[in-house]
């Protein structure tokens, strides 16, 4: 088994989450790398949507943005953001990859600001982009993020993208479709999901060499733990070869691990 870094591990784990024939709205960087790896190994019929309007591409190399011309390579559609977002509103998107500066126990995401005053924040972030739309309408939200206490907080400073809001039933009360919402969180330490009646984040799998205490120590709220705690399979030699030689040979993404 070749050595690998945390970024390579997260991308490989993320690529395994999507079934063949499913659809996913992905952004540039880690989501694109995971989508490309999934297409090459696990889900050849994965239907990729880019926010800027491309749908169904077979990506030749890593695009630098959601509007890069490479996102339309062999695509089924080269349109605009209106069609991409409409696909989510119509319930046609199984997965979306999202992230942010903060995430809480119910999967709410903050990519807007830090602080308690919106007009005078401690830190201002880029904001939603399409994250609120995709997180509201896609069936399953996948989050890939480093695991740190400053990111995994008891309550986000601002809800940019709704998770399960305040708990069971809150999404539906807000007018969002039943069955949509947070699915899994993939970090450099573990895989987490929300498969419990409380709709709270729980640890389901520990990565190689990681202990449950490490995960808890890097989380700013009380984590639930699945009844059966799994061990994450590490990246395979073939996953790493494709990732390093075909997807990101320059190391723009995987070099950050």
Give me the pLDDT at residue 28, please.
86
Mean pLDDT of 222-235: 97
C-alpha to C-alpha distance for 65 and 30, rounded to whole angstroms: 12
Bridging pattern class, strands 224-231 and 202-206: parallel
Catalytic residue among 51, 173, 238, 245: 51
Mean pLDDT of 112-118: 96
Mean pLDDT of 191-213: 98
Residue 15 has pLDDT above 90, yes or no: yes
Which residues are 118's β-sheet partners?
Answer: none
Residue 172 has pLDDT above 90, yes or no: yes
Question: What mean pLDDT is reported for the chain?
Answer: 95
Long-range residue pairs from 215-218, CB within 8 A, at least 24 positions apart, any chain: 215/147, 215/189, 215/190, 217/149, 218/147, 218/148, 218/149, 218/152, 218/189
- Token look-up 């699945």 returns 226
Mean pLDDT of 169-195: 97
Q: Name the residue among 229, 222, 152 with its Cα closest to residue 185.
A: 152
Give me the pLDDT at residue 68, please.
87
Query: Who contacts 254 (Cβ-Cβ below 8 Å, separation ≥6)?
Result: 5, 7, 8, 11, 33, 243, 244, 248
Tokens of 191: 């895989």
More confident residue, 191 or 84: 191
**Of the ranges 65-69, 112-116, 141-145, 244-248, which one carries the lowest mean pLDDT score?**
65-69
Give me the pLDDT at residue 67, please.
87
More confident residue, 60 or 203: 203
Long-range residue pairs from 122-129, CB within 8 A, at least 24 positions apart, any chain: 125/100, 125/101, 127/160, 128/160, 128/161, 129/51
What the chain holds in terms of domains, given with CATH numbers, is: 6-252 (3.40.1080.10)
Residue 184 has pLDDT above 60, yes or no: yes
Give me the pLDDT at residue 1, please.
55
- Token look-up 């880019």 returns 50
What percent of the chain stands above pLDDT 70? 99
| Residue 51 appears among annotated catalytic residues | yes
Beta strands in 63-175, from DSSP E residues, in sequence order: 77-78, 95-98, 102-103, 109-110, 113-114, 123-124, 140-144
Residue 148 has pLDDT above 90, yes or no: yes
Mean pLDDT of 67-92: 91
What percent of the chain stands above pLDDT 90? 88
Mean pLDDT of 83-108: 95
Under the banding of pLDDT at 50, 70 and 90, the label for residue 64 is: confident
Bridging pattern class, strands 77-78 and 54-55: antiparallel
Residue 21 class from Cβ within 10 Å (0-12 exposed, 13-18 middle, 19+ buried)?
Answer: exposed
**Of the ranges 67-71, 87-91, 225-229, which one carries the lowest mean pLDDT score?**
67-71
Mean pLDDT of 104-114: 98
């Amino acid at each position: 088994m070749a050595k690998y870094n945390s970024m390579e591990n997260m991308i490989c784990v993320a690529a395994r989450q999507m079934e063949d024939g499913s659809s996913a709205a992905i952004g540039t960087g880690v989501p694109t790398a995971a989508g490309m790896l999934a297409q090459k190994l696990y889900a050849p019929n994965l239907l990729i949507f880019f926010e800027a309007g491309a749908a169904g591409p077979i990506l030749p190399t890593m695009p630098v943005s959601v509007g890069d011309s490479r996102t339309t390579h062999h695509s089924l559609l080269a349109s605009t953001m209106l069609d991409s977002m409409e696909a989510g509103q119509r319930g046609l998107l199984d997965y979306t990859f999202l992230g942010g500066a903060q995430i809480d126990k119910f999967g709410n995401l903050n990519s807007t600001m830090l602080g308690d005053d919106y007009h005078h924040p401690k830190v201002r972030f880029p904001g939603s982009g399409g994250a609120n739309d995709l997180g509201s309408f896609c069936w399953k939200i996948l989050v890939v993020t480093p695991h740190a206490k400053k990111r995994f907080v008891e309550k986000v400073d601002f809800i940019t993208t709704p998770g399960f809001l305040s708990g069971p039933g809150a999404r539906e009360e807000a007018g969002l479709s039943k069955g949509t919402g947070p699915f899994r969180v993939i970090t450099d330490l573990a895989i987490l999901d929300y498969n419990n009646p409380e709709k709270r984040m729980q640890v389901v799998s520990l990565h190689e060499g990681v202990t449950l205490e490490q995960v808890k120590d890097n989380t700013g709220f009380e984590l639930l733990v699945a009844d059966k705690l799994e061990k994450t399979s590490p990246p395979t030699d073939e996953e790493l070869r494709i990732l390093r030689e075909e997807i990101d040979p320059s190391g723009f993404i995987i070099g950050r691990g």
